Structure 1
């Protein structure tokens, strides 16, 4: 009861304390963290119980999805048995689900939300974990929301006041929110609605940092702050540092994530690199093996489809009876014009090696296209075309462009063999202007069947998307 009263009083106190001294801000922040700690401790106990009894937890998650199904299902009424569900409902791929949704003209796509309890648990445990690993980023006045709106206050509305976000609320554009946030000397963390939008914010910060610093120094939004502008410029010159993803172990150098046994219902499909045959039988969370790779299969109540996401994870540990995984690759992001199958990891490794040989260059984003999509062979052998956005370099010599093809031959023996025989032509490299990939993501989001947030493909299969980048080539 005390906790409920505190939750009800905090928004009222936030409205009353418009003109508040610093000690009240600190007091409110401390009260908020006490409340958070109590509730997070309760959520932690619930997580412990669910991960210790995974079989029971997964059965409860599936039952919840079946009872709240929002679309017709091929299963007979009353079926709640896990084995029957997995045997009778076929696996589908993301592309198939999106095609069916576009045909049926369902409700407009919305941000995917877990069951409210799971969302609250993720929010609270995430905040507490972040505070333990990096306590300075959640002190009063240290965090800023730079996209309207942010997801965290959605589960716990009073957090926006209690934790002292520095940027004002309201429907403003991202650039204005970022500029206002950067004026605060205590800023330590930026918060956005999705990871993709946060990436765009950081890319924009790197590209327009000098301009933003000049706006702060000149007082574009109020009082000139030359010293703050100098601090910002110094920080930008040091380059980006910090955490880009949140998990239960954010201090670890490589991201690892707990697969919880709640909603959505999770299955894992065994994955073997280089094999032609696909596994048809999925495993539950308790059946996976350490160091093995699996494709994620999710089921929620919205579509009640056993959807293969195309994301491949490797099991790297366990949390009680639940697997801890690391994302390794995405299926479907492969280049293949002569049957060579150059996957995303292989190409990314070659590209990173090549960019490392370009003085001053930093890769911001890229996408690949098979030459047939753009109809750009012109009598030459089929080849790959790569569009990339760089920082620190506006032009590439032919010698530097050729380095990508050489690096790709080093990491892919099959590609090297095809190049030597002349069956495949050299990679063509194009530099695109700043903001090109933000425009690409906007075009992806505008597609009726697109997910939210839109998945950023490394290999473009649609000609109009490839042409969008082609029109923005600067070198």
Structure 2
């Protein structure tokens, strides 16, 4: 089963034989380079298509025999485990595995990693066959949905990180991506993309990172236009610079399509905390464009494959390979007492589960906190939609207000603020900022908006009203006076971009970026507090 790379290499060599013969024929240098690029593009796509077909066949086999596939995934994780003093016998079954290793929260795993009790991931970039499978199947799905976006020179990446779980440098270069090879400066990537008016696809590591790219483009637009006009880097393009200047002067709404009129799709890697960034991009800069994520990623690896790019909200297949995946039924109220997990084949439609991952590095049954809802099946494996994160709940009086409930209420309130578009938000429990002295505990909410420069008291009150309408528990606590009204603060432009730069600088910041919606650390809350403008 591991012979397919050799077969691909052999077939590529066979394809190169007629190429060498043709190169000996006389033709102009420019025509020869164009012809070579076109041939290389076809050869690479042929090889990628062949490899993707092989991965698709393997996926079909593993999802049809999901119990056997999960047993193999568990044996692989145990064989490569690096955790000392492992309590498991040599080849345990799944029941023994569950009994010997207790469920652990992601926060506990991070604490053990920081103390050196667990080995941390060796790289921020993914590796392994599961990641290669997600990349190959994602590329083929993208090409099928948008046939023109992967033509030579039609795609550009504008962040240092890639949306593809297993970046393939040589196909990317051979496919003619408009990105300088080996770039280490985000500005160089953006400049190269801006020089190419015929782009059909933008790539970014995550929607949050792409949001920061467009915010930076607005802030530094004049310098970027000047660099393109003067040819730094590359040759001077005064006409293109004039087009960019005109596009920027018309504001953020629909900016991407003014910069690149043929743009069709934005490719980012989906993970926790990206929903708000996708909504902000779709409402402003990327208005009219489709979004596609090849996979759903967490710190443990790729946990979901996207085989349906035409779906407006991401649907993901939970594959049965490594990392070993279990499903923990989500119960009403606190989840501390839940201990019994299910395998993938036991998932029930319309039921919500928390994902539990075990990888070969730490050999820890880690509760990710990511909650999925089963919406269908692919052979014997569940197809899911990601719903919320349990770690992003608000709890000042036992109300346990979830991320999705708060986001729904805030979105409803913002729609009542005339002209406002929300870019980002976080919430802080008042105890973090010591702001509840002399009053009941409450929420401190920080928002970054477009279209509204200050907030009236009437606008601020609307959030509290929407929270009461959305959450009966919150409404009851407010009626009894146990919880005070939510306080809303408007921060200046670029505040969240600066916050993310601070988060990324932290050595324990996860990859892919997991944007928090509830801040638990006082210094981060005070960071935003210093940037309040209204």
Q: Do both proteins adopt the same fold according to a TM-score greater than 0.5, normalized to the shorter chain?
A: yes
Q: Any gaps of 5 or more consecutive residues in structure 1?
A: none
Cα gap change, 1:442/1:208 in structure 2, threshold over 3 Å: closer, same or farther?
closer
Determine if the alignment matches structure 1 residue 4 to structure 2 residue 9.
yes
Determine if the alignment matches structure 1 residue 293 to structure 2 residue 352.
yes
Map of 1:420 onto structure 2: 479
Residue 367 of structure 1 aligns to a residue whose secondary structure is strand
Distance 1:386 1:449 in 2: 25
Map of 2:243 onto structure 1: 227
The one-character-per-residue Cα deviations of 1:325-377 (angstroms, maximum 9, x if unpaired) are 00111102111212222211111011101111122221111110011110112
Deviation at 1:2, TM superposition (A): 5.8
Residue 113 of structure 2 aligns to a residue whose secondary structure is helix
Distance 1:301 1:234 in 2: 51
* Range with bigger deviation, 23-32 or 408-417: 23-32
Distance 2:404 2:58 in 1: 37
Distance 1:421 1:153 in 2: 49
TM-score (norm 2): 0.81
Map of 2:253 onto structure 1: 237
2:209 pairs with one of 192, 197, 221: 197
Residue 179 of structure 2 aligns to a residue whose secondary structure is coil
Distance 1:95 1:277 in 2: 14
Distance 1:74 1:18 in 2: 63
Distance 1:94 1:153 in 2: 21
Q: How many residues align?
A: 471
The one-character-per-residue Cα deviations of 1:37-79 (angstroms, maximum 9, x if unpaired) are 1111111111101111111111111111111111225323413
Distance 1:465 1:376 in 2: 15
Map of 2:385 onto structure 1: 326
Deviation at 1:462, TM superposition (A): 1.2
Map of 1:451 onto structure 2: 510
Matches within 5 A, 1:426-437: 426-437=485-496
The one-character-per-residue Cα deviations of 1:364-418 (angstroms, maximum 9, x if unpaired) are 1111001111011242222111111222222222221221112112112222232
Deviation at 1:175, TM superposition (A): 2.9
Q: Any gaps of 5 or more consecutive residues in structure 2?
A: 1-5, 255-283, 295-305
Distance 1:80 1:18 in 2: 63
Alignment RMSD: 2.9
Work out whether residues 133 and 250 of structure 1, in 8 Å CA contact, stay in contact via their aligned partners in 2.
yes
Cα gap change, 1:73/1:268 in structure 2, threshold over 3 Å: closer, same or farther?
farther
Distance 1:292 1:418 in 2: 29
Residue 38 of structure 2 aligns to a residue whose secondary structure is helix
Matches within 5 A, 1:252-267: 252-267=311-326
Residue 375 of structure 2 aligns to a residue whose secondary structure is strand
Map of 1:162 onto structure 2: 174
Determine if the alignment matches structure 1 residue 79 to structure 2 residue 138.
no
Map of 2:140 onto structure 1: 128
Work out whether residues 154 and 178 of structure 2, in 8 Å CA contact, stay in contact via their aligned partners in 1.
yes
Residue 253 of structure 2 aligns to a residue whose secondary structure is helix
Work out whether residues 210 and 233 of structure 1, in 8 Å CA contact, stay in contact via their aligned partners in 2.
no
Distance 1:397 1:348 in 2: 21
